[in-house]
Structure 1
């Protein structure tokens, strides 16, 4: 997944889930790890980081 796609997924997830979007991305990442799909897990990790940066500092 390229940076543009990552940003689009992050925006869509944040729009749909609000403050719970980062947790949703973490859940998806964990599911991919359990399914032995490391590439998809890395994609979800990047999406999670993008959501975190959109939310700004001091927001857990």
Structure 2
């Protein structure tokens, strides 16, 4: 997983919304969604709950 994808996952694990993550990282909401989708594929997960479980250790 790329550093950007990991950062997005960590912020998702902290409970931030796509819009809040976009504002925090100074990127578009569409880019956040793209990073999230890539992370889903690389982690072989299909739900937000699975993403929380996989990325909980990345939380800042």
Task: Compute the TM-score of the two structures, normalised by the length of structure 2.
Answer: 0.43
Compare CA radii of gyration and give the structure with the larger one.
1
Task: Compute the TM-score of the two structures, normalised by the length of structure 1.
Answer: 0.43
Highest RCO, 1 vs 2 (Cα 8 Å, sep ≥ 6): 2
